[in-house]
């Protein structure tokens, strides 16, 4: 495997078709993908690029590092962190009444877990209607503490019902309380209210979390998206457990709703990046709708998970398998790290696709004194082989290596292998955000790109064992020699990996045992099978193509190598559209 040092770049509208990053713990998802992405997004923002960022994660370490980035770059941010005494506030009951009701129902149902359909319906009705009652009376002054106090005291609930009756008169909402909650089904509802109260007490029982959710919000999410703000949310899994997950679900649902109601057009909306680590903890009923329409709202979802099985979560009226399929379908940019489980490896092997390989079976008729050097006949057989076998995804890649399948100008590309890049430890001293002006880069050579990434703290290393391959950055990847590229707005996902191809003279050697040599002694016929068309499988030796439909390999240093795939958009088009790149 030869390292080409070509950066993997994605830009234009492609990031807004969402990312799904999958890999087991300690594989490098956060340190080599999420953190460098965030660092370079903040660099762009510091240089004047109008963009926003929302980060939700459960452990806190990523939040603390990003907070240091913001402080050093002097970028304003809002921090929601129960472990920080200087945290900002977010009242989850503020906002549009329908959004608040749906979020409250979804969060409490997730805390309840699986229930019988009858009791689940009653729990949803009681939560929805009590929340609506209080929201109509208190507006944005309502907090979860008010909801908890109302569920604790039936007399207080009855008083609120009468207050609403005096305010709006008769309504369907009041009929629910008169005929059901206080009527024939009162005993059933009392039992359910005890369960609802227990879940709310679990959330509000932690003093640090209660401090965040019981005060007036420090952030208006509509303005946050419009003006390109930075929001950092630590759900503090270690201290809060399920209460932290519920808080994170509240926040993500509010962000999703704000994204769906953004004013303006796709061209006028400020690009926003919603980055969620351990995304499975915050899956909610609105995920499918959000992923379907967020691209037109200019909100990119970047989600990290440990296993595809974590996506099988039943939420609301969406079944577990339907939820998983919705996320996999709408997250069109996928990254899979090494160390996947057997089930995930097989699923990703199918996702990354297969290549068609033509195997030629040649037949020789030999005589004792007159051997023949040319085949008497041959037969071609067309088969399909995985581009990346499941076993390769399980245990044959190195640490921090990944396979990515991303879009280029809306067109899916063949998957490629890359290796993650870390944020330099001395990023404070380098101050890379001050070195580049943020203006469109001039057209130039590969050296200019290397200088740009050097300023950004990214060291490009060339393998001495591999053929030296000069990078080709093309508006159209098929146009060899084109030097147009976009450096400054690029977020490095990793270094492109490419197979080191055997020299051409090695391709003419005699068939080995691996090439399935079969001798038929009864007819004195020798049948040899050998591949005719190059497979994308890395372990296969490349043979001389016969009637190959592939383009001629790029010649570098007298060794044929496979032409690398590039993901670059015209710089003129990029800056004209105000696109953000990585």
Q: What is the pLDDT of residues 306-328, one digit of tens each?
A: 999 999 998 877 889 999 999 99
Q: What is the residue extent of each domain of the chain?
A: 1-18+332-339+401-501+569-582, 31-82+219-301+310-330, 97-205, 352-389+504-552
Residue 12's pLDDT is: 85
- Residue-wise pLDDT for 510-558, tens only, equals 344 443 333 333 333 333 333 334 333 333 333 333 333 333 333 333 3
Residue 378's pLDDT is: 80
- Tell me which residue of 520, 519, 546, 517 sits closest to 534, measured CA to CA: 546
Chain position carrying tokens 């877990």: 113
> Do 248 and 281 form a contact (C-beta atoms < 8 A)?
yes
> Do 486 and 11 form a contact (C-beta atoms < 8 A)?
yes
Region of poorest pLDDT, from 174-178, 281-285, 372-376, 566-570: 566-570
| pLDDT for residue 205 is more than 60 | yes
| pLDDT for residue 571 is more than 50 | no
- Residue-wise pLDDT for 556-569, tens only, equals 333 333 333 333 33
Tell me the CA distances in angstroms from 112 to 108, 193, 202, 329, one per residue in order.
Answer: 6, 12, 12, 28
| pLDDT for residue 471 is more than 50 | no
Q: What are phi and psi of 404, to 5 degrees?
A: -125, 140
Instruction: Render the burial of 374-397: b for 16+ CB within 10 Å, e for the rest.
Output: eeeeeeeeeeeebbbbbebbbeeb
Residue 148 vs residue 470, higher pLDDT: 148
Query: If pLDDT is split at 50, 70 and 90, which confidence band does 486 have?
Result: very low
> Would the pTM of this model clear 0.85, i.e. be above it?
no
Distance separating alpha carbons of residues 472 and 121, to the nearest angstrom: 59
Residue 457's pLDDT is: 53
Residue 492's pLDDT is: 40
Residue 124's pLDDT is: 87
**Percent of the chain with pLDDT strictly greater than 70:** 73
DSSP one-letter code for 409: T
Query: Could you give the 3-state DSSP secondary structure of residue 548?
Result: coil
Task: Give start and end residues of each alpha helix (H) in 287-393.
Answer: 287-293, 320-330, 342-352, 390-391
- Residue-wise pLDDT for 68-111, tens only, equals 999 999 999 999 999 999 999 999 999 999 999 999 999 988 88
Residue 516's pLDDT is: 37
Residue 492 vs residue 449, higher pLDDT: 449
Query: If pLDDT is split at 50, 70 and 90, which confidence band does 485 have?
Result: very low
Structure tokens at 317: 């009226």
Rounded to an integer, the average pLDDT of 30-52 is 94
Rounded to an integer, the average pLDDT of 391-415 is 93
Residue 443's pLDDT is: 44
| pLDDT for residue 173 is more than 60 | yes
DSSP one-letter code for 315: B
Rounded to an integer, the average pLDDT of 34-53 is 94
Query: If pLDDT is split at 50, 70 and 90, which confidence band does 191 have?
Result: confident
Region of poorest pLDDT, from 258-262, 427-431, 575-579: 575-579
CATH number at 31-82+219-301+310-330: 3.40.50
| pLDDT for residue 405 is more than 90 | yes
Rounded to an integer, the average pLDDT of 400-421 is 93
Rounded to an integer, the average pLDDT of 467-475 is 27
- Tell me which residue of 489, 447, 493 sits closest to 471, measured CA to CA: 447
Residue 454's pLDDT is: 53
Residue 198 vs residue 581, higher pLDDT: 198
What does DSSP say about strands 2-7 and 411-412: parallel, antiparallel, or unpaired? unpaired
DSSP one-letter code for 459: -
Residue 197 vs residue 554, higher pLDDT: 197
Residue 570's pLDDT is: 33
Tell me the CA distances in angstroms from 577 to 13, 440, 477, one per residue in order.
Answer: 10, 12, 21
Residue 506's pLDDT is: 37
Task: Give start and end residues of each alpha helix (H) in 456-501.
Answer: none
DSSP 129-158: HHHHHHHHHHGGG--HHHHHHHHH-HHHHH
Rounded to an integer, the average pLDDT of 397-408 is 93
Residue 546's pLDDT is: 32
Structure tokens at 578: 């105000």
Rounded to an integer, the average pLDDT of 277-294 is 93
């Amino acid at each position: 495997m030869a390292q080409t040092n070509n950066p993997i770049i994605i830009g234009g509208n492609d990031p807004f078709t969402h990312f799904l990053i999958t890999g087991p713990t300690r594989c490098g998802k956060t340190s080599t993908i999420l953190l460098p992405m965030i660092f370079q997004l903040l660099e762009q923002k510091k240089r004047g690029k109008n963009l926003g960022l929302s980060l939700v994660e459960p452990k806190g370490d990523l939040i603390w590092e990003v907070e240091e980035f913001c402080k050093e770059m002097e970028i304003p941010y809002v921090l929601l962190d129960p472990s920080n005494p200087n945290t900002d506030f977010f009242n989850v009951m503020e906002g549009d009444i329908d959004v608040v009701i749906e979020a409250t129902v979804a969060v409490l149902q997730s805390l309840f877990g699986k229930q019988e359909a009858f009791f689940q319906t009653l729990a949803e009705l009681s939560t929805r209607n009590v929340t609506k009652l209080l929201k109509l009376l208190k507006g944005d002054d309502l907090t979860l503490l008010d909801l908890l106090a109302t569920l604790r005291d039936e007399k207080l609930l009855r008083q609120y019902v009468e207050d609403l009756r005096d305010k709006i008169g008769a309504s369907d909402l009041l009929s629910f309380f008169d005929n059901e909650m206080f009527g024939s089904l009162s005993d059933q509802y009392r039992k359910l209210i005890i369960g609802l109260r227990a879940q709310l007490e679990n959330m509000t029982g932690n003093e640090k979390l209660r401090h965040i959710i019981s005060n007036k919000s420090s952030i208006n999410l509509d303005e946050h998206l419009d003006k390109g703000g930075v929001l950092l949310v630590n759900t503090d899994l270690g201290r809060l457990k399920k209460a932290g997950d519920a808080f994170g679900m509240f926040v993500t649902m509010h962000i999703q709703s704000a994204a769906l109601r953004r004013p303006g057009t796709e061209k006028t909306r400020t690009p926003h990046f919603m980055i969620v680590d351990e995304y499975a903890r915050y899956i909610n009923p609105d995920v499918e709708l959000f992923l379907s329409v967020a691209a037109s709202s200019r909100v990119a979802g970047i989600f990290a998970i440990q296993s595809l099985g974590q996506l099988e979560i039943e939420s609301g009226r969406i079944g577990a398998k339907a939820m998983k399929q919705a996320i996999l379908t709408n997250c069109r940019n996928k990254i899979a790290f090494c160390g996947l489980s057997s089930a995930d490896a097989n699923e990703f092997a199918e996702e990354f696709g297969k290549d068609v390989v033509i195997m030629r079976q040649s037949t020789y008729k030999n005589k004792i004194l007159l051997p023949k050097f040319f085949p008497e006949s041959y037969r071609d057989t067309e088969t399909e082989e995985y581009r990346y076998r499941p076993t390769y995804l399980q245990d044959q890649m190195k640490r921090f290596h990944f396979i990515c399948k991303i879009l280029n100008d809306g067109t899916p590309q063949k998957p490629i292998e890359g290796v993650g890049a870390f944020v330099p430890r001395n990023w404070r001293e380098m101050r890379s955000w001050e070195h580049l002006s943020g203006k469109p880069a001039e057209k130039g050579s590969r050296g200019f790109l290397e200088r740009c990434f050097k300023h950004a703290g990214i060291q490009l290393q060339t393998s001495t064992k591999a053929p030296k391959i000069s990078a080709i950055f093309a508006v159209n990847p098929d146009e060899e020699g084109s030097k147009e590229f976009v450096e400054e707005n690029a977020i490095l996902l990793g270094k492109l990996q490419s197979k080191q191809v055997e020299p051409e003279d090695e391709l003419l050697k005699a068939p080995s045992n691996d090439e399935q040599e079969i001798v038929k002694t009864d007819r004195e016929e020798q049948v040899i099978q050998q591949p005719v068309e190059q497979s994308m499988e890395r372990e296969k030796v490349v043979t001389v193509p016969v009637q190959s439909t592939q383009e001629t390999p790029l010649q570098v240093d007298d060794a044929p190598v496979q032409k690398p795939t590039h993901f670059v958009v015209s710089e003129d088009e990029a800056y004209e559209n105000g696109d953000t790149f990585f």
